[in-house]
Structure 1
């Protein structure tokens, strides 16, 4: 154990100040006699007026404050935000929940408490929906949710909406209502052009509490264990945060890396790193899931004014689907002033990747292998997704905006085998990675945490972020991540 003095001594240490971490810090500090420390590797911007413009604007994803991660096999960028607010401070602000079948599926895997009916109150607790007031939507949560009206749509998004309807997509007014499949306005957490991140909503309401401390620019190394119980967190600079309970919310790449450096994970991998095994959990770092995406791109015939990028979303059900199944494919049209695209995304991928460590250095990048489109079923679905995107782009309203043929790696390719090869080279990560600390009933078959988020084999240690998702939802993962933190915060607090 380090001889460094404790920089903080608290009841609960939350490691990771991203989307989940901001929710946890805010909820766990609601009781004034409970002390909470939020530990984040990136910078903090407590003054909203000092927020960098790309983090403030909800019109598009931000590229700054990135961890600089890459896929080890392909070299492709794996974007993850390094800032208080995490990816909620940099994402495209699409606020989809996922299908009810997604969460019912989690419960069916042996995770009681996670059915859609049981997590719906958590989704409602997150939001103040500015468009809908009914049993499906919240009215008193910290995150405002709205949808762009027809008069707010950019020229490309308006044309894409018409083209998708012409292509046969049913019109949907509320994509967060169970059973919604079709085209409609995307629910977003952007209001007045400003991104309503977890830092700008949840954490802002809690910042002034004297029982909450925020340690920014503080990279976590490992969890401190004494006789099988978590007692705090060691930072990369050797400082110590002592805590009665430790909650990892460092994300799909960060949480398993911290567990591995702690000696929690596959015994063989730990031995290779020279670490004693404190809890043999084969699932740590395994089960990595991600939505694979392709952008079918066309040049614009004339330059158009810039504007909000992600305004509408379209979904398709799988062939032979049954009522209640989630989307199989998703399209999100978008544009810059000189080009536009229709994305194609496989929403229930079968391919799995992995996160490992190359070194015990907490400042070193983890070894990430995504394996996008590794399974033939995913590749076949993506072929259909690209055909559908092309079909939409060729419809009148969008075709009239195009200044030429497709311009991407698979442009003009029709042969299925050649197209499949192009897709393998052009596929990108949708920034929805999850699953590397999966929850489930049996640690020897890959579960890392139980249904309450408790790490198997260690007391007073939880994981509460997207890494515990056993199966990726059929939607963007921002709202499901907030939901996980909401769902587990009460259970962690009840461990007093």
Structure 2
């Protein structure tokens, strides 16, 4: 074939892809193309308010369903919840451009499990330098933190906490949980301020933190509004990609292709290109290049439910711009051997005058799957999360809900919480009734991952090796949350950027 146009094509300008492409382009001899399905805003001033505004947390304020910056996936959450929205960012910065800006790291035990799965390059000691490299922590200076990286991290201080957040800390500590200032310390547990990447109210996405460094490099190009539809593969080697832009089908070639399209986009593109479970590919008429049963399997996330109270009639609800998510409790479930497998966060809904305490399961036993349903790249894959589809997941969440209700009874909440409105007393009669409520109400914490997991080639479910290289296909890697063997005990934006940094280092 003719000489390739690029040294590397990176598909997806999200949390991992923007970091990876920026680092690769530091070598002026390497020509890098970054392909992004969504729109590109070249600087902060061009960003729409709902993208730039970082006070709000979560995709409910950042984007609306069917919005231009949202892939707007739909999934089956549980056996009783069929229509769960799964927003993912469709914009440079990816989901880091629409998310809640929580910057929590995976804990050392998460990486130990990855090493046990045959990925010795992913120990905590080997990953820590990249976690430090990407951050500029404004509050903590020690051997575990970075202070000159592209992603700015800060915490709300005690005098910045609104009443419900201060009450949350008081209620939690009264129940015996310790306080912590730095949730990103490797030994941290307990309640304290969340590390957030939103300095001065700006949602500090990878488009701002990373791509700003790369945009003016002559060896670096961004092709936005470009939907990748297929990997070009010939004789077991990836030669480039096809993508749609402005109604035109375009081919681009490279020495190496890296998929950073996210835990839905990357496995979807693999399957559309003939890499995946043969029965799914054959069913929709995609020629099988590599029968790889692990593609789309092992779907992981953090199940969550909201315990809801009505606010006292005379309580002045906080303005949405003050930011509803400033503190969190990370703890170990009763009887669990998995440290920090749970999280609790206090929130509010000013429109409905409600307070919500979110219970989250950080290390679930159940796993879901993603299935190819069409050879058309515009048809979304089928997502089945199987949330709480394991007795131990249900029991931990059951205990969490009951504990949250007790938190709400603490005197610190007098004058703030009026009455519990969900779950109802009938939902709390017994374990079975509460389990039913959990299955009706469980939803994603927006941390989907693990759908193209890394592992040794002898593992039939491993899609890539620990360097992100797809087993059996030359010149093709995956570098995003897809490759994690399990969802870490943390929100996933920081892990995604860490993956981008580390695989870029492998490629240099």
User: Does TM, scored on the shorter chain, surpass 0.5?
Assistant: yes
> Which residue matches 1:460?
475
Measure how far apart 1:63 and its partner are: 2.1
2:457 matches 1:442: yes
> Which residue matches 2:348?
335
> Which residue matches 1:350?
365
Q: How far apart are the structure 2 equivalents of 1:409 and 1:209?
A: 58
Aligned length: 487
Measure how far apart 1:370 and its partner are: 0.6
Measure how far apart 1:261 and its partner are: 0.7
Equivalent of residue 226 in structure 2, options 203, 209, 218: 218
Q: How far apart are the structure 2 equivalents of 1:147 and 1:444?
A: 41
2:105 matches 1:101: no
Equivalent of residue 198 in structure 2, options 186, 190, 194: 190
Root-mean-square deviation over aligned CA pairs: 1.8
SS at match of 1:238: strand
> Which residue matches 2:7?
11
2:306 matches 1:295: yes
Are the equivalent residues in 2 in contact too, given 1:68–1:79 (CA < 8 A)? yes
Q: How far apart are the structure 1 equivalents of 2:421 and 2:360?
A: 18
2:164 matches 1:137: no
Q: How far apart are the structure 2 equivalents of 1:427 and 1:438?
A: 25
Q: How far apart are the structure 1 equivalents of 2:206 and 2:329?
A: 26
Equivalent of residue 69 in structure 1, options 36, 51, 73: 73
> Which residue matches 1:162?
170
Are the equivalent residues in 1 in contact too, given 2:19–2:497 (CA < 8 A)? yes
Q: How far apart are the structure 2 equivalents of 1:272 and 1:305?
A: 52
Q: After superposing the two structures, state which structure 1 stretch, 428-437 or 233-242, moved more.
A: 233-242
The 1:410/1:326 distance shift into structure 2, 3 A limit, reads farther
Post-superposition CA distance 1:223-265 (Å, at most 9, x none): 1012111110111442111111100000110000000011001
Post-superposition CA distance 1:333-370 (Å, at most 9, x none): 11133221111011110111111111111111111111
Q: How far apart are the structure 1 equivalents of 2:212 and 2:425?
A: 45
> Which residue matches 2:381?
366
Q: After superposing the two structures, state which structure 1 stretch, 313-322 or 425-434, moved more.
A: 313-322
> Which residue matches 2:40?
44
2:90 matches 1:82: yes
SS at match of 1:113: helix
Normalised to the residue count of structure 1, the TM-score between the two structures is 0.95
Measure how far apart 1:409 and its partner are: 6.9
The runs of at least 4 aligned residues of structure 1 exceeding 2 Å deviation read 318-322, 403-414, 442-445
2:498 matches 1:483: yes
Are the equivalent residues in 2 in contact too, given 1:453–1:464 (CA < 8 A)? yes
Are the equivalent residues in 2 in contact too, given 1:443–1:456 (CA < 8 A)? no
> Which residue matches 1:257?
268
2:480 matches 1:451: no
Q: How far apart are the structure 2 equivalents of 1:241 and 1:283?
A: 27
Post-superposition CA distance 1:56-85 (Å, at most 9, x none): 121222124211111146111111111111
Q: How far apart are the structure 2 equivalents of 1:412 and 1:377?
A: 19
2:127 matches 1:119: yes
SS at match of 1:162: helix
Measure how far apart 1:443 and its partner are: 5.4
Measure how far apart 1:208 and its partner are: 1.2
Equivalent of residue 304 in structure 1, options 317, 324, 344: 317
2:434 matches 1:419: yes
Equivalent of residue 390 in structure 1, options 393, 405, 419: 405
SS at match of 2:417: coil
Measure how far apart 1:410 and its partner are: 7.7
Structure 2 stretches lacking a partner, 5+ long: none
The 1:184/1:233 distance shift into structure 2, 3 A limit, reads same
Are the equivalent residues in 2 in contact too, given 1:14–1:37 (CA < 8 A)? yes
